[in-house]
Amino acid sequence: MDWLAAPRSAAEFAALVAAYFFFLYWAFALLCLLATRVVFPAVHLGRVLDTRRLRSHQRAAEIGGSMMTVAIFGIGSLTVWWGLRHGWLRVDTDASLARIVIEAGVLVLWNDAHFYACHWLLHRRALFERFHLRHHRSGVVTPFATYSFSPVEAALLGSVMPLAMLAWNFSVEALLFLPVYSLLINTIGHSNYDLFPARRIGQLSTFSRRHQMHHARFHGNYGFMLPWFDTLLRTRTTDLRPEAASGLQS
Protein backbone atom coordinates (compact mmCIF):
# COMPACT_ATOMS: atom_id res chain seq x y z
CA MET A 1 0.00 0.00 0.00
CA ASP A 2 3.04 2.27 -0.09
CA TRP A 3 2.01 3.51 -3.54
CA LEU A 4 -0.79 5.53 -1.89
CA ALA A 5 1.46 6.99 0.78
CA ALA A 6 4.31 7.80 -1.62
CA PRO A 7 3.29 7.35 -5.30
CA ARG A 8 6.18 7.29 -7.73
CA SER A 9 4.62 9.25 -10.59
CA ALA A 10 1.43 11.10 -11.44
CA ALA A 11 0.69 8.83 -14.40
CA GLU A 12 1.15 5.68 -12.30
CA PHE A 13 -1.10 7.00 -9.54
CA ALA A 14 -3.89 8.06 -11.92
CA ALA A 15 -3.71 4.76 -13.81
CA LEU A 16 -3.92 2.71 -10.60
CA VAL A 17 -6.91 4.70 -9.35
CA ALA A 18 -8.72 4.40 -12.68
CA ALA A 19 -7.99 0.66 -12.82
CA TYR A 20 -9.33 0.24 -9.29
CA PHE A 21 -12.62 1.94 -10.15
CA PHE A 22 -12.83 0.11 -13.48
CA PHE A 23 -12.52 -3.27 -11.76
CA LEU A 24 -15.04 -2.41 -9.05
CA TYR A 25 -17.55 -1.04 -11.56
CA TRP A 26 -17.58 -4.15 -13.74
CA ALA A 27 -17.37 -6.65 -10.89
CA PHE A 28 -20.29 -5.15 -8.97
CA ALA A 29 -22.42 -4.45 -12.05
CA LEU A 30 -22.15 -8.01 -13.36
CA LEU A 31 -22.62 -9.62 -9.95
CA CYS A 32 -25.64 -7.42 -9.28
CA LEU A 33 -27.17 -8.28 -12.64
CA LEU A 34 -26.66 -11.99 -11.99
CA ALA A 35 -28.14 -11.77 -8.49
CA THR A 36 -31.20 -9.67 -9.33
CA ARG A 37 -32.11 -11.22 -12.67
CA VAL A 38 -31.21 -14.88 -12.07
CA VAL A 39 -30.48 -15.90 -8.48
CA PHE A 40 -33.04 -13.94 -6.44
CA PRO A 41 -35.99 -14.51 -8.82
CA ALA A 42 -35.17 -18.24 -8.88
CA VAL A 43 -35.58 -18.46 -5.11
CA HIS A 44 -38.52 -16.02 -5.05
CA LEU A 45 -36.65 -13.41 -3.07
CA GLY A 46 -37.64 -9.78 -3.71
CA ARG A 47 -39.03 -8.25 -6.90
CA VAL A 48 -38.23 -5.99 -9.82
CA LEU A 49 -39.36 -2.44 -9.06
CA ASP A 50 -39.95 -0.87 -12.46
CA THR A 51 -41.09 -3.20 -15.24
CA ARG A 52 -40.97 -0.69 -18.09
CA ARG A 53 -38.65 -1.48 -21.00
CA LEU A 54 -35.28 0.22 -21.23
CA ARG A 55 -34.97 2.95 -23.82
CA SER A 56 -33.07 2.19 -27.01
CA HIS A 57 -29.29 1.82 -26.50
CA GLN A 58 -29.67 2.71 -22.80
CA ARG A 59 -27.10 0.23 -21.49
CA ALA A 60 -24.50 1.29 -24.06
CA ALA A 61 -24.99 4.93 -23.07
CA GLU A 62 -24.73 4.05 -19.37
CA ILE A 63 -21.51 2.10 -19.87
CA GLY A 64 -20.02 4.86 -22.01
CA GLY A 65 -20.86 7.49 -19.42
CA SER A 66 -19.52 5.33 -16.61
CA MET A 67 -16.22 4.72 -18.40
CA MET A 68 -15.82 8.47 -18.84
CA THR A 69 -16.44 8.90 -15.11
CA VAL A 70 -13.80 6.27 -14.30
CA ALA A 71 -11.32 8.24 -16.42
CA ILE A 72 -12.28 11.48 -14.67
CA PHE A 73 -11.81 9.84 -11.28
CA GLY A 74 -8.34 8.79 -12.38
CA ILE A 75 -7.48 12.29 -13.55
CA GLY A 76 -9.08 13.86 -10.49
CA SER A 77 -6.98 11.67 -8.21
CA LEU A 78 -3.99 13.76 -9.24
CA THR A 79 -5.14 16.30 -6.65
CA VAL A 80 -4.51 13.61 -4.03
CA TRP A 81 -1.18 12.72 -5.65
CA TRP A 82 -0.11 16.36 -5.58
CA GLY A 83 -1.26 16.75 -1.97
CA LEU A 84 0.68 13.67 -0.88
CA ARG A 85 3.81 14.75 -2.73
CA HIS A 86 3.79 18.25 -1.24
CA GLY A 87 2.70 17.37 2.27
CA TRP A 88 -0.78 18.86 2.14
CA LEU A 89 -2.27 15.40 2.60
CA ARG A 90 -1.06 12.46 4.65
CA VAL A 91 -2.20 8.90 5.21
CA ASP A 92 -1.55 6.45 8.03
CA THR A 93 0.05 3.22 6.83
CA ASP A 94 0.26 1.59 10.27
CA ALA A 95 -3.20 2.06 11.80
CA SER A 96 -4.72 -0.32 14.32
CA LEU A 97 -7.77 -2.38 13.42
CA ALA A 98 -9.93 -0.32 15.79
CA ARG A 99 -8.87 2.91 14.11
CA ILE A 100 -9.50 1.49 10.64
CA VAL A 101 -13.03 0.42 11.62
CA ILE A 102 -13.85 3.78 13.22
CA GLU A 103 -12.49 5.70 10.24
CA ALA A 104 -14.44 3.51 7.83
CA GLY A 105 -17.61 4.36 9.75
CA VAL A 106 -16.80 8.06 9.64
CA LEU A 107 -16.24 7.85 5.87
CA VAL A 108 -19.59 6.09 5.41
CA LEU A 109 -21.35 8.97 7.19
CA TRP A 110 -19.30 11.57 5.32
CA ASN A 111 -20.04 9.88 1.99
CA ASP A 112 -23.78 10.06 2.63
CA ALA A 113 -23.66 13.71 3.70
CA HIS A 114 -21.48 14.67 0.72
CA PHE A 115 -23.69 12.76 -1.72
CA TYR A 116 -26.88 14.31 -0.37
CA ALA A 117 -25.46 17.84 -0.64
CA CYS A 118 -24.14 17.31 -4.19
CA HIS A 119 -27.28 15.52 -5.34
CA TRP A 120 -29.60 18.17 -3.91
CA LEU A 121 -27.51 20.87 -5.58
CA LEU A 122 -27.61 19.12 -8.96
CA HIS A 123 -31.40 19.11 -8.80
CA ARG A 124 -31.59 22.90 -8.71
CA ARG A 125 -33.21 24.29 -11.84
CA ALA A 126 -30.07 26.09 -13.02
CA LEU A 127 -27.93 22.95 -12.85
CA PHE A 128 -30.17 19.97 -13.54
CA GLU A 129 -30.38 19.98 -17.35
CA ARG A 130 -26.74 20.96 -17.80
CA PHE A 131 -25.09 18.59 -15.38
CA HIS A 132 -27.48 15.91 -14.06
CA LEU A 133 -29.97 15.11 -16.81
CA ARG A 134 -27.60 12.58 -18.36
CA HIS A 135 -27.90 10.39 -15.28
CA HIS A 136 -31.69 10.73 -15.23
CA ARG A 137 -32.02 9.54 -18.80
CA SER A 138 -32.02 6.14 -17.11
CA GLY A 139 -35.62 6.40 -15.97
CA VAL A 140 -35.52 2.67 -15.36
CA VAL A 141 -32.18 2.18 -13.65
CA THR A 142 -29.71 -0.63 -14.29
CA PRO A 143 -26.45 -1.51 -12.49
CA PHE A 144 -24.56 -0.03 -15.43
CA ALA A 145 -26.02 3.44 -14.73
CA THR A 146 -24.08 3.72 -11.48
CA TYR A 147 -21.42 6.08 -12.86
CA SER A 148 -23.29 7.46 -15.87
CA PHE A 149 -22.56 11.11 -15.06
CA SER A 150 -21.73 14.32 -16.84
CA PRO A 151 -18.09 15.39 -16.39
CA VAL A 152 -19.13 18.08 -13.90
CA GLU A 153 -21.15 15.62 -11.81
CA ALA A 154 -18.29 13.12 -11.89
CA ALA A 155 -15.84 15.75 -10.66
CA LEU A 156 -18.26 16.92 -7.98
CA LEU A 157 -18.95 13.45 -6.58
CA GLY A 158 -15.30 12.48 -6.97
CA SER A 159 -14.33 15.19 -4.49
CA VAL A 160 -15.60 13.10 -1.57
CA MET A 161 -12.23 11.53 -0.74
CA PRO A 162 -9.91 14.54 -1.24
CA LEU A 163 -12.14 16.69 0.98
CA ALA A 164 -12.12 14.05 3.71
CA MET A 165 -8.34 13.77 3.49
CA LEU A 166 -7.99 17.51 4.04
CA ALA A 167 -9.72 17.14 7.39
CA TRP A 168 -7.96 14.02 8.74
CA ASN A 169 -5.03 11.69 8.09
CA PHE A 170 -7.04 8.55 7.37
CA SER A 171 -5.59 5.06 7.24
CA VAL A 172 -4.85 3.59 3.82
CA GLU A 173 -7.26 0.73 4.53
CA ALA A 174 -10.17 3.05 5.35
CA LEU A 175 -9.53 5.09 2.20
CA LEU A 176 -9.45 1.98 0.02
CA PHE A 177 -12.64 0.77 1.69
CA LEU A 178 -14.58 3.90 0.74
CA PRO A 179 -14.77 3.24 -3.04
CA VAL A 180 -15.68 -0.41 -2.40
CA TYR A 181 -18.52 0.54 -0.07
CA SER A 182 -19.66 3.47 -2.21
CA LEU A 183 -19.74 1.61 -5.50
CA LEU A 184 -21.31 -1.52 -3.99
CA ILE A 185 -24.17 0.45 -2.42
CA ASN A 186 -24.53 2.63 -5.51
CA THR A 187 -24.77 -0.44 -7.74
CA ILE A 188 -27.42 -2.01 -5.53
CA GLY A 189 -29.23 1.33 -5.49
CA HIS A 190 -29.37 1.19 -9.29
CA SER A 191 -30.35 -2.48 -9.43
CA ASN A 192 -34.07 -1.75 -9.93
CA TYR A 193 -34.67 -4.55 -7.46
CA ASP A 194 -36.21 -4.57 -4.00
CA LEU A 195 -35.10 -7.39 -1.71
CA PHE A 196 -37.51 -6.33 1.04
CA PRO A 197 -40.77 -5.19 -0.61
CA ALA A 198 -42.78 -5.56 2.60
CA ARG A 199 -40.67 -3.02 4.48
CA ARG A 200 -41.47 0.68 4.69
CA ILE A 201 -39.45 3.05 2.58
CA GLY A 202 -37.91 4.84 5.54
CA GLN A 203 -36.01 1.75 6.64
CA LEU A 204 -32.30 1.40 6.01
CA SER A 205 -32.66 -1.70 3.84
CA THR A 206 -34.98 -0.09 1.25
CA PHE A 207 -32.48 2.30 -0.31
CA SER A 208 -32.77 0.69 -3.75
CA ARG A 209 -36.52 1.39 -3.74
CA ARG A 210 -35.95 4.97 -2.63
CA HIS A 211 -33.49 5.57 -5.44
CA GLN A 212 -35.66 4.00 -8.13
CA MET A 213 -38.55 6.19 -6.95
CA HIS A 214 -36.20 9.16 -7.27
CA HIS A 215 -35.43 8.25 -10.88
CA ALA A 216 -39.11 7.66 -11.65
CA ARG A 217 -40.21 11.01 -10.16
CA PHE A 218 -37.11 13.19 -10.74
CA HIS A 219 -37.38 14.66 -7.23
CA GLY A 220 -36.98 13.72 -3.57
CA ASN A 221 -34.93 10.90 -2.03
CA TYR A 222 -31.60 12.65 -2.61
CA GLY A 223 -29.75 10.51 -0.07
CA PHE A 224 -27.31 7.68 -0.75
CA MET A 225 -27.98 4.70 1.53
CA LEU A 226 -28.99 6.34 4.79
CA PRO A 227 -32.55 7.76 4.91
CA TRP A 228 -31.70 10.24 7.66
CA PHE A 229 -30.84 13.32 5.59
CA ASP A 230 -34.01 13.08 3.50
CA THR A 231 -36.05 12.61 6.66
CA LEU A 232 -34.35 15.47 8.52
CA LEU A 233 -34.55 17.90 5.59
CA ARG A 234 -38.02 16.76 4.50
CA THR A 235 -37.05 15.64 1.01
CA ARG A 236 -38.06 12.02 1.37
CA THR A 237 -40.59 10.77 -1.17
CA THR A 238 -43.37 9.15 0.82
CA ASP A 239 -44.30 5.49 0.49
CA LEU A 240 -47.30 5.97 -1.77
CA ARG A 241 -49.80 3.31 -2.69
CA PRO A 242 -48.26 1.15 -5.45
CA GLU A 243 -50.88 2.17 -7.99
CA ALA A 244 -50.07 5.84 -7.37
CA ALA A 245 -46.35 5.39 -7.91
CA SER A 246 -45.77 6.13 -11.59
CA GLY A 247 -43.57 3.48 -13.17
CA LEU A 248 -43.36 1.30 -10.09
CA GLN A 249 -44.70 -2.20 -9.98
CA SER A 250 -47.32 -2.96 -7.34
pLDDT single digits (tens) 9-58: 899 999 999 999 999 999 999 999 999 999 999 999 999 988 888 888 99
pLDDT single digits (tens) 129-150: 999 999 998 888 999 999 999 9
Distance CA 199, CA 214 (A): 18
| pLDDT at residue 244, as a whole number | 37
Per cent of the chain over pLDDT 70 is 92
Task: Quickly list DSSP for the chain.
Answer: -HHHHS-S-HHHHHHHHHHHHHHHHHHHHHHHHHIIIIIHHHTT-SEES--SPPPTTHHHHHHHHHHHHHHHHHHHTHHHHHHHHHTS---BSS--HHHHHHHHHHHHHHHHHHHHHHHHHHTSHHHIIIIIHHHHT-SS--GGGTT---HHHHHHHTTHHHHHHHH---BHHHHHHHHHHHHHHHHHHTS-EES-TTS-TTSGGGHHHHHHHHHHHSSS---SS-SHHHHHTT-PPP---GGGSTT---
At residue 80, does pLDDT exceed 90? yes
Model pTM score:
0.89
**How many CB atoms are located within 10 Å of the residue 198 CB?**
6
Q: Exposed, middle or buried by CB within 10 Å (0-12, 13-18, 19+), for 9?
A: exposed
Distance CA 56, CA 222 (A): 27
pLDDT single digits (tens) 163-196: 999 999 999 999 999 999 999 999 999 999 999 8
User: What is the pLDDT confidence band of residue 5, given thresholds at 50, 70 and 90?
Assistant: low
Distance CA 81, CA 88 (A): 10
Domain ranges of the chain: 11-244
Per cent of the chain over pLDDT 90 is 70
Higher pLDDT, 238 or 229: 229
| pLDDT at residue 1, as a whole number | 52
Distance CA 233, CA 167 (A): 25
